[in-house]
Chains A and B, each alone.
Chain A
Amino acid sequence: MAETDYVLELKNIRKTFGALVANDDINLRVRRGSVHAIIGENGAGKSTLMNMITDIYEPDGGEILLNGEKVRFKDPMDATRHGIGMVYQEFMVFGDLPVLDNIMMGFEEKRWGIFLNRKKARMRIEEICRDYHFQLPLDARADTLPVAVLQQVEIVKVLYRGADILILDEPTSVLTPQGIQGLFEAIRFLKAIGKTILIITHKLREVFEVADEITVLKNGKVTGHVLPDEVTEEQLANLMVGREVILQAHKIKSEIKSPVLELQDLSVKENGVQRLKNLNLKVRSGEIVGIAGIAGSGQQQLAGAVVGLTRVEKESRIRIGEIEVQDKSVRERKKMGVGYIPQDRMGEGVNKAGSVWESAVMGYQTVHGYRRKYLLDRKQAEDFTNRIIREYSVKTKGIHEKVINLSGGNIQKLVVGREISLCDKLLVIEDPTRGIDVGAIEFIWEKILRIAAAGTAILLISHELNEVMQLSDRIFVMYNGTLEYAGTHGELKEEEIGLLMTRGGDADEKKA
């Protein structure tokens, strides 16, 4: 029967968050017993889409059909009862509970309706493990286990809950190559047994290895529905990251002089996970060095390490000018002329609960200082704020307006204006134009190009490949905590860089 051919169908799904359209008219059909990959850059709308299938969000429009029937779940538990199980990127495990308890949590076997029946639960879980070839230490505490095993715990958990459709969100991002192979074997086995698997990823090579069908999302829209043997990696990369160039930056020829920032063997470990691996990089005065890459490849740690927010490993050296700064505080580096435009402008760039002037003068006390050292000179603060508002055309009712009332573009102009006005040596910029309108993008680009021409060294980290390509003098691609050189301005084509971003070149393979 045609309608049971597809176990899950999404029709014209639409979801918006304020002005942001996260999913726009999405159509998706998932064949029963297949492995269906959904690929796209971060922010393409993959997670939003999956969260609507598991009912964390309610779609604004469109419908979801399960086994040919229209469904609307009451809550995530309800979706689970309908046989949809999600394995999240961040595992939902209770570290100090044994594996057994973690698996049965929320769906316990009971005796007389109130008492836990551990024995029965254990029997069922052991059966699942036998049937699906998992070997789990059921009595070990979850926090003693490696991530690959925890992932299996999560998969067994959704199977225990009776899932027919398994959604795996970026399942390989935490795994070693061996772990990935193990996972793929499990996926193939689950498929053979008749389960349907949706795998969300941005790693193209894996898609080719395991998927039967591929759906590509970009900017909240489906840009392609293909079979793996129909396309090449290049074509897929292009569907995923390629975009028409609407904006053209006018690069100003600047004189590139001595290095301002020098990274030597920069490594960062967080909670035992190696985020950056022996990075070496120089950014010179007057130069814009752009870092492209899929989100979560280590960009945040790189920015954090340079401005002083992230602790680096012992052997790492960070030099600004001639001075080693890896042990210096954020404040000390700020005094040296290091500016920072963070990715999360609302959470980190400003104090949205405060007034515009409060966010505008942050750092002023450190860099310039007020007329009297300990007193905040209101006049001085207001003058500085007004200067930023004027020079960066921040649209606001006045310096006492609450930041939260400003639009994203205007908040970003405020942050950019502040950092450019305060720091003239090195500027670390993360996603300067994310989610803001074209006019503001052009404006901010021009400001960035202009201060580079005036001699500031700029480390530009962006998830918009186009932005990196437009603005940078030299381009690097970050992949899994390493940097790979991707040519000077205009040297490589978009597809070539896109491929490096999704595959990491061959460097990764040589090491492994």
Chain B
Amino acid sequence: MRKKLEINEEAKSNLIRYAAALLAVLLIGAVLIAVQGENPGKAFSEIIKGAFGSKINIGNTLRHTMPCILTAIAAAVAFKSGVNNLGLEGQIYFGALTAAVLGYAFKLPPGVHVIVCLLASGVAGMLYALLPAMLKLVFQVDELISTLMFNFIAVLLTEYITMWWIMGGRGSDGSNAISTPPMAASARLPGLIQGSSASLGVVLAFLVAVLVYLFYRYTVKGYELKQVGENIRFARAYGIPVARTFLGIFLMSGFISGLCGGIEMSGSYGSFTAKFITNMGWDGILIAYIAKQNPIAIVVVSFLWGALRAGSLQMERMTSLNKLTVNIIQMLFVLFAAIDYKALLDHMRQKHIRSREAG
């Protein structure tokens, strides 16, 4: 009974946060749109139409929800235990390239092929996360910096590999033609909704979120990881091997990021193109942050994120507005959702009391 009450308490404060942020963002967004000479009401309705207007639109929303869930879960797993893995983007790139290469270079039976591609993409992301993890453990290099740097390396190195190893340098003439040959059909994930770009990937992402949730809730390891994140001295004093935990976390986070890249390939793109995404990893970090690393909240926020993404494309088609407007709105949402409204309220109340006492 009591437990239920407390969960409600937390959910309530989260809901207040989201609602307040949404309200603030709608207001600012409306001004932003009006300034550009468009009707805010129309723009918003186009966004909603684009996100949920038809089966295909819902499919598109789901398609954009997938990477949000996975990257946010990857980030949350790391942050929960106090590991600052900002290298999601780089891990996605290597996961994607690996899946794409295995997808076109090998012939395997249908079901097996996809699974091999996806597992390999996870392993690739994991290995790419191993580098900064080892740097941290052996040389005490702060992972905040190293993972950040490894992102740039990954983006450029995958481009180099694609251009010179896979294409043999032929891509140097074209601008956006730096890409691998298409993956075999047997390496592709089946679609989820006919006509949309949603694939089975979103289901996989959802499964990963649920698994992570169950892991933290029901396993001894999950319990230990939580303690490491919340009080590392407590964990160390009672025998949780902190260094090994750190490595495990890093690898898990890398695996999920890499898997995200793999699903992008098998589910949507079908071949690896240099610089195929921007900011996917960062979106995940922001979502994990807004959702306070709670897997369930991550799924909810990711869906919102995906909807905004899909909706913004529609808005761009139907109005003179640029989808960057939506990007700005998204970022503002992060800012407003970061405010602890309850603490703010308490603070103001206290200030009020104090000023009354003084006066």
B-binding residues in A (CB < 8 A): 307-309, 329-334, 340, 342, 344, 347-354, 358-359, 361-363, 365-366, 370, 373-376, 378, 397-398, 400-401
Is B220's CB within 8 Å of the partner chain A?
A: yes
Tell me the minimal C-beta distance from B3 to chain A in angstroms: 5
Tell me the minimal C-beta distance from B167 to chain A in angstroms: 46
Contact B238 A363 (CB under 8 A): yes
Tell me the minimal C-beta distance from B201 to chain A in angstroms: 28
Is B218's CB within 8 Å of the partner chain A?
A: yes
Is B39's CB within 8 Å of the partner chain A?
A: no
A398 to B236, CA, bound (A): 26
> Given known contacts A375-B218, A397-B2, is B233 in contact with A358 (CB within 8 Å)?
no
Number of A-B contacts (CB under 8 A): 80
Contact of B234 (CB < 8 Å), options: A334, A351, A400: A351
Contact B220 A348 (CB under 8 A): no
Contact A376 B3 (CB under 8 A): no
26 CB < 8 A contacts A-B? A331-B239, A331-B240, A340-B238, A347-B231, A348-B231, A348-B233, A349-B234, A349-B237, A351-B231, A352-B231, A353-B230, A354-B230, A358-B223, A358-B226, A362-B238, A363-B239, A366-B238, A370-B220, A374-B221, A375-B218, A376-B220, A376-B223, A397-B2, A398-B2, A400-B6, A401-B2
Contact B236 A330 (CB under 8 A): yes
Contact of B219 (CB < 8 Å), options: A331, A353, A376: A376
> Given known contacts A331-B239, A334-B238, A400-B2, is B219 in contact with A375 (CB within 8 Å)?
yes
Contact B227 A354 (CB under 8 A): yes
Contact B220 A375 (CB under 8 A): yes
Q: Which residues of A contact B221 (CB under 8 A)?
A: 374
Contact B236 A350 (CB under 8 A): no
Tell me the minimal C-beta distance from B322 to chain A in angstroms: 43
Contact B233 A347 (CB under 8 A): yes
Contact B234 A307 (CB under 8 A): no
Is B224's CB within 8 Å of the partner chain A?
A: yes
Tell me the minimal C-beta distance from B287 to chain A in angstroms: 22
Task: Please report the total number of B residues contacting A with Cβ < 8 Å.
Answer: 23
Q: Whose C-beta in chain A lies nearest to the C-beta of B242?
A: A330
Complex interface bits, B200-235 against A, C-beta within 8 A gives 1, otherwise 0: 000000000000000000111111101100110111
Contact of A354 (CB < 8 Å), options: B2, B218, B226, B238: B226
Is B241's CB within 8 Å of the partner chain A?
A: yes
A376 to B224, CA, bound (A): 10
Contact A329 B239 (CB under 8 A): yes
A398 to B234, CA, bound (A): 21
A329 to B240, CA, bound (A): 9
Q: Whose C-beta in chain B lies nearest to the C-beta of A331?
A: B239
Q: Which residues of A contact B230 (CB under 8 A)?
A: 351, 353-354
Contact B227 A400 (CB under 8 A): no
Contact A376 B218 (CB under 8 A): yes
Q: Which residues of B contact A359 (CB under 8 A)?
A: 234
Tell me the minimal C-beta distance from B251 to chain A in angstroms: 18
Of A308, A344, A351, A398, the most chain B CB neighbours within 10 A belong to A351
Tell me the minimal C-beta distance from A350 to chain B in angstroms: 6
> Given known contacts A347-B233, A351-B234, is B2 in contact with A365 (CB within 8 Å)?
no
Contact B233 A330 (CB under 8 A): no
In the A-B complex, the 9 residue pairs with the closest CB atoms: A331-B239, A330-B239, A351-B231, A353-B230, A334-B239, A400-B3, A365-B220, A348-B237, A348-B233
Contact B227 A309 (CB under 8 A): no
Contact B227 A307 (CB under 8 A): no
Contact B2 A353 (CB under 8 A): no
Contact A309 B220 (CB under 8 A): no
Tell me the minimal C-beta distance from B79 to chain A in angstroms: 14
Contact B236 A309 (CB under 8 A): yes
Contact A342 B237 (CB under 8 A): yes
Q: Which residues of B contact A332 (CB under 8 A)?
A: 239
